[in-house]
Structure formats: structure tokens, C-alpha cells
Amino acid sequence: MAQRSPRHLSLISSSDSRSRESPSRNGSQPTSRRRRRQRRTPSSSSKPLGFLNGLMKPFFKSSKSSNSTSRFPGGEGSQTAESLKPLVSQLRQRQQTREQQQQRLKTPPPRRNRPRQASTSPIPPLIANNRRNPNLPPPPSSQSLSRRPLSSPSSSLSPQPPVSARPRVSKQPKRRFSPMIYGARLLILGVGIGVISGTVLSVLSSLGRLGSSATPTTANLGLESQLEATPTPVGVETLPLSVQLNQEIQTVKQQILALTPENSDLKPGILLVDLDTGGYVDINSESAFAAASTIKVPILVAFFQAVDEGKISLNEVLTMEGQHIAGGSGDMQYQPSGTEYTALETATKMIVISDNTATNMLIERLGGAEFINQKFLDWGLHNTVIRDVLPDLRGTNKTTPKDLVNLLTQLNQGGLVSMKSRDRIFRIMEKTENDSLLASGLGRGATIAHKTGNLKSVSGDVGLIDLPNGKRYLLAVLVERNDEDSAAESLIRNISQTVYESFTRSPETETESTEDSEVEESDNSEDTEEDDQ
């Protein structure tokens, strides 16, 4: 090849410089063709190497040419190329290391063991900045890449040991406070405490029941347990009434005691309870008397209690058999054996006409005398018992005025039976045909639901009385006598009349009568003083 002149070389270099400094198509600042080719290359990893190759290409061409000594006098180009080879190899090595790091980042190891590689090369940020902004100046020379000034090419381009990567310290994320989880834990804790406390209380209550079962208990019937503690009246301290007894009515008691003649064979037992005020009169109310037909009242209550429990229906058919037939009061005894009656009809005849045969039929249907006696005890009727079938002429069936009043008190307050059955019981008792005792001592307008009883040794009556002025009271009178003494019946009528008059007397009338008595007493005292003089 012919050797070119220096002028020709200068023209070529000037043309190359003009081509490098020619403006771009869009009118921006001048850029080289090599940079445009670098932007077109798709691989990001080859751009740094292409950029360096573009910078070193003139030196490599001069080293390969045969006339390098002629172009670069003294062999300076070959020495410079030889001195840059270690730099290029080091840059390629670092680029490969960076590519390997990027490949490892794409498939990261477990979080706790993943090392953190710190790159110490300043070349990639410079290349990236140059790629984003093509108007930046070319990268610095190899002398500026080293941290220390170059003393010699060999010493400045010596390979540096790779920087060891420090392992990343994995920090566990802090748990955030969740109010829902906290509330759920509190709820579970509360439920557990409640279950444990409930179990302990149930065990303690069962132990308490076992301890209390060893002591005798008394039936607490009616609504007495719901009332406040009050002083116990004399003579009715064990009476479980549902009304609050206040004080004894002394005036009425004295009037009743005055009705009993002296040196009489009559032995009365009386209990009067004012359902409005709680006043009472108690005269030998706990003494047991022959019950006679008054025993039919608790039997009637037991019948309607069985109706409420579904053990018997009102329209159930009962057959009268030979062992049921009894003498005394009632008309069922005149019917042939095998006659059928409904349960309601049988119970009505037992009260209205005091039929003894109907009573025996109901006793058997309800389960027998022993079963009914147990019910009496459950109701608090401790002195009421059935020992013989009706008519019980020997008087073995017993009761007390206190038990009879207690029973009617519970009925009046809605105890023992349902309200419907209670109303039916009182309607049946209002139809009692024998009105010779308590009913005969009442005035016009008063109503009574009662049941009488008469034997040779006893006469009695018990009832709930409603007066026209709105007063309501309970009265039970049993009089023990000798050989059908009619004085017992007269005493019962007089007692009923006395109580009726005391309850119908207005407060104004009582005040006037009290003032008249005081005036009479003062007049008598004046007369006495005059006689003494």
C-alpha cells in the first residue's frame, strides 16, 4: 500500500472530525454515529463494552496496521494500546460479574441467607447517565477511574481484589396490633371463666341441697314468700296465707265470744280474714274437727288440678259402681249400678247437693285417699286427712278452720289451679243448696261461695263472702256438739251475721256509736257521784 502524505492524513482527520461534529437530524446537539448505533442495540449489557470499543478502536487499528510505526513515531500508539489491555480486561470482568449478580437477583435465594452485593464500580452509573442524556461529555479517562494517582501504567491497572459481599441481616416485621384479635381473646377468656364459675356454683348448690334435705321442710304455699316479714299474729303463726295479716280485730272477736253461752257443750273453731285490710279473728282455729262434708272442698281442688295437668278431662265418662254407692246426702245412690256420669257432672253434684256417692267416685278416679292426702300435705294442709269413704259417720276424716281458710286464700290469689279452674270452682260453690248456716246470716246483696258439713258430732261451714260495698272476707266456722245439738247451727248463723254487720257498718256509724257510748259512760259516772254524796 502506498504511503500517505501528512497532508493527506490531516485531511482525513479533519473530515473525521467534521463527521463527528455534524448536527443530528432533529437539530439537537452533535452526536457521533457510534452513539446512535449503541442506542439501537437491544442488549443493555453490551452497551458499555460497545462504548469502550468505540473509544479504543483508533488505537486497535493503529496497532494492527503494518505501518503503525510510521503513523505514530517512536511506537507510542502500540505502548498505549498495550497499557490499556489490562483496563479493558478488568472492565469486562466487572461487567461479567455484574451480569452474574443480575442473574442471581432474578432468582433470589431464601430471604434470610441472601447476601447483599455492593458494587464499587463507578462505570455503570456513568454509562446509564450517558445513555439517558446523549449530550453529556464522554466518560473520563482511565486515569480518573483509579482512586489513587497513577505512578505507572502497570501499577495503576493492576487488578483489585473483589469486594466481599456482606450478608443481609434479616429483620422480622413487627406484628401490628389488631383490636379484633385482642377482643376475640378476651371473649374466649371470659367464656372460659364463666364456664368454670358456673360449674363451681352448680357443685356448691348441689351440696347445699344435699345438706338441706337432711332437715325436715315445710310446704310454703301461696304468695307468702313474696311478702315482707311482719310480726306473726297470735294463733296463726303457721298459717301460709297469701295475704298480709296485720292485727286482730278485737271488737269483732269480743262480739263473737259473747255469742257462745256459758256452760255450753259447744266448742267452736273460727278463723276470719279480711282480704282487704289483713285484719283477722282467730278463735281456736288450729284445733282439728271432724271434717264432715267440708272435706269435699279440697277434693274439688284436687280434681281441677288434675284437669289442668291433663290427667283427666271434664267430659270424661265415669261409671258408678256398687262400691261407690253411699247413703246420706245426694241422689246418685238411687240410680242403678253402671250409670255413667261425666267428670264435671260428678264434681258438681259432690258440692251442690253434697253427694257422697259422687265423692267416692272422684276419690277413686284421682288415685285413692293416700294420693290425695299427699296433695293436702303439699298444699300446706297438715291437719286435713281422708281416712274413710263418705259419709264417714264416725268422723275420722279431719280438718281445721285454718286449713280451710288457707285453701280458699290460695284459690283466691290464683294458686294451686289455673284462673279458669279457679272461676269454675267458685261458681260451683256458689250453687250450694244448703243455705242454713253462713248464708242465712248475710244481708241482701251479699254473695257466698261455700260448702257446708253436718254430722251428729259437728256442724260447719266455710266460704268466700263478697259484700255490696266491695268488702271481701273468708270465714270458716266448725262447731263440735253432742248428738245433733241445734244450738251449733244457730251459733254459726249468729257468727255470720255479726261479721256481716261489722263489715257493712260505715266508718261514720262506728264513730257515732263510739261517741254515744262515751256520753253514756260520762252520764253514768255523774249519777254515781251524786249517789255517793
Neighbours of 187 (CB within 10 A): 10
Contacts 24+ apart (CB under 8 A), 144-152: 145/87
Asked if residues 321 and 337 have their Cβ atoms less than 8 Å apart, the reply is: yes
> What is the distance between the alpha carbons of residues 529 and 527, in angstroms, rounded to a whole number?
5
pLDDT at 529: 39
Estimate the crossing angle of helix 343-352 against helix 296-308, to 10 degrees.
160
Closest C-alpha to 385, from 400, 397, 375, 403: 397
> Could you please report the per-residue DSSP string of 324-362?
G---SS-SGGGSPTT-EEEHHHHHHHHHHS--HHHHHHH
Closest C-alpha to 299, from 429, 187, 419, 469: 429
DSSP 3-state assignment of 451? Answer: strand
Closest C-alpha to 87, from 21, 160, 31: 160
DSSP letter at 441? Answer: G
> What is the distance between the alpha carbons of residues 524 and 129, in angstroms, rounded to a whole number?
140
The pLDDT tens digits for 184-200 are: 888 888 888 988 888 88
> What is the distance between the alpha carbons of residues 337 and 324, in angstroms, rounded to a whole number?
9
Task: Flag residues of the chain having pLDDT under 50.
Answer: 1-31, 41-47, 61-74, 119-128, 130, 142-159, 163, 210-241, 508-517, 519, 521-522, 524-533
Estimate the crossing angle of helix 369-379 against helix 356-366, to 10 degrees.
80
Task: Calculate the CA dihedral of residues 398, 403, 408, 413 and round it to 10 degrees.
Answer: -150
pLDDT at 199: 83
pLDDT at 38: 52
DSSP 3-state assignment of 411? Answer: helix
pLDDT at 22: 46
State the sign of the Cα–Cα–Cα–Cα dihedral 321, 322, 324, 328: positive
Q: Is 208 exposed, middle or buried (0-12, 13-18, 19+ CB in 10 A)?
A: exposed
What are φ and ψ of residue 317, in 5° steps? Answer: -90, 125
Asked if residues 326 and 356 have their Cβ atoms less than 8 Å apart, the reply is: yes
pLDDT at 53: 59
HSE-up of 178 (CA within 13 Å, CB side)?
Answer: 6
> What is the distance between the alpha carbons of residues 406 and 237, in angstroms, rounded to a whole number?
12
